[in-house]
Amino acid sequence: MQFTDLLTEVLVTALGSLAFGIVYKVKRNRLPAVAAGGGIGWMIYRLLFLAMENIFLSNMGATLFATVYSEMLARKKKAPVVVFLLPCLIPLVPGGGLYYAMSWMVRRDVQQAMSYLGKACEAALGIAAGILLVSVIIHRNRTA
């Protein structure tokens, strides 16, 4: 992968996160942070995937960043964490994998469908694990 390809992907995902923030009525002063979080999160995902070729770990790493980033912004901007976290995670959602799994299932090619479904589940579990890990650590430290 060339640097310009990665830069293009990061810009497009930042715009996607920005658009998601606009559609869900994130306040205007929070939109740049939402866009930056989505772009940086995607960059982390791609770099990790290029290094390891592991869907679960790549998604978990990017989600760890997105969750810590969102927790910090929520405190700084006095907003719920979810305002920042959801738009930052939108680029990581395995929608394409789910689409292709269903498409192959409709075509009755169960082997291809299971392949795509497995990858989509791996990505979803990586996202869930990243959120869970950061949330447990942060909330455990708050109550201690």
Q: Distance between CA atoms of 114 and 111, rounded to whole angstroms?
A: 5
Backbone angles phi, psi at 95, to 5 degrees: -65, -40
pLDDT-derived band of residue 85, with 50, 70 and 90 as boundaries? very high
pLDDT at 144: 60
With bands split at pLDDT 50, 70 and 90, how would you rate the model's confidence at 124? very high
pLDDT at residue 120 greater than cutoff 70: yes
Cα–Cα distance between 62 and 85 in angstroms, integer? 12
Per the structure block, which two tokens stand in for 13? Answer: 């995902």
Tens of pLDDT, residues 40-59: 999 999 999 999 999 999 99
pLDDT digits (tens, 9 = 90+) for 14-27: 999 999 999 999 99
pLDDT exceeds cutoff 90 at 7: yes
In sign, the C-alpha dihedral spanning 141, 142, 143, 144 is positive
Which of 115, 13, 120 shows the shortest CA–CA distance to 56?
Answer: 120
Please state, rounded to an integer, the average pLDDT across all residues of the chain: 95
The alpha carbon torsion through 69, 138, 93, 86 (nearest 10 deg) reads -60
Domain ranges for the chain, please list them.
3-143
- The average pLDDT across 83-104 equals 95
Is it the case that residue 91 has pLDDT exceeding 70? yes
Across 86-114, average pLDDT: 95
Q: What pLDDT score does 3 carry?
A: 86
Rounded to an integer, the average pLDDT of 117-128 is 97
**Residue type at 93 in one-letter notation:** V
